[in-house]
Chains A and B, each alone.
Chain A
């Protein structure tokens, strides 16, 4: 626990679940339910998505208030504007951090995550530890990620139990007035889109500083 990131040690590559998935995949192919190209298409779809998509959406929202309104009211449409295809049956809701409210996302029942935008969730997001603790002791969890909301800020935890996938719109960090959209996007970490931390700047604490993108760290 003293390391601050116990979650990241969890790996599933050699678990019995992986063996089971491979067996199910082989059966689905053998029985003609799925074809190999369909599986490859799906893998390609998922690999094409990453937290960088979320970072672009956030950076655009920071520099364009009208885009921000569209991102909050019609996430799929806003994503499409940036060439991010999030179409599909799943609905998205973006929750906005404000000086009064900090948002944190979890799926206690499984691992619901805005995959069509951000790709696959990190392993720790799927761990029993995160899923059970994020709802019960969000402050302790965020501390382990090196973040503590300021005094007086309400923490709102969103348990995505059903058909909506959530993403956090973090606040633009202070001292970033001179940054362009691309530089701003570099500040937006995957963790800040889940809400366990906030975008990294020199104004944050030390552990956040270490996660700064290289290009920014050089200037600090």
Chain B
């Protein structure tokens, strides 16, 4: 079971976590849409420190509009950016997940 499904509107948590994370800073706080569920993977945030990485975490391909990611984006308004983000970094748009 995953918390989100394709089409769901989400926001990337604007949280700070020290150490190894796979959520790029430029997407924190940005709103996007779940494009697809990529599967579950052992958490790289723990694997990086020799831990088991368990339990496996759902990983999503999240779609963003470039014009919503960057101020003054130079390109067509339909341009998109996709990033692979772990469930713990996503919240439902407009509230906590």
Contacts and interface: CB of A to CB of B under 8 A. Distances in A.
Contact of A109 (B22, B70, B79): B22
Nearest to B80: A156
A137 B66 CA distance: 10
Contact of B26 (A135, A138, A162): A135
Nearest to A132: B26
B41 A138 contact: no
Given A108-B26, A109-B24, A135-B26, A157 B84 contact: no
Given A91-B38, A108-B24, A109-B22, A163 B78 contact: no
Contacts of A160: 84
Interface in A123-146: 135-140
Interface residues of B, number: 26
A159 B38 contact: no
Contacts of B78: 154
B14 interface: no
Residues of A contacting B: mostly: mixed
Contact of A161 (B23, B73, B75): B23
B82 A158 contact: yes
B44 A162 contact: yes
Contacts of B81: 135, 156-157, 159
B79 A163 contact: no
Contact of A154 (B80, B84, B86): B80
A154 B81 CA distance: 10
A140 B74 CA distance: 9
Most chain A CB within a 10 A radius of its CB, from B44, B70, B82, B85: B82
21 contacts: A108-B24, A139-B75, A154-B78, A155-B75, A155-B80, A156-B79, A156-B80, A156-B81, A159-B83, A159-B84, A160-B84, A161-B83, A162-B22, A162-B38, A162-B44, A162-B85, A162-B86, A163-B38, A163-B41, A163-B59, A163-B84
Given A155-B66, A159-B24, A161-B22, 6 more contacts: A138-B75, A152-B76, A154-B76, A161-B23, A161-B84, A164-B38
Interface of A: 91, 93, 108-109, 135-140, 152, 154-164
Interface of B: 22-24, 26, 38-39, 41, 44, 59, 61, 66, 69-70, 73-76, 78-86
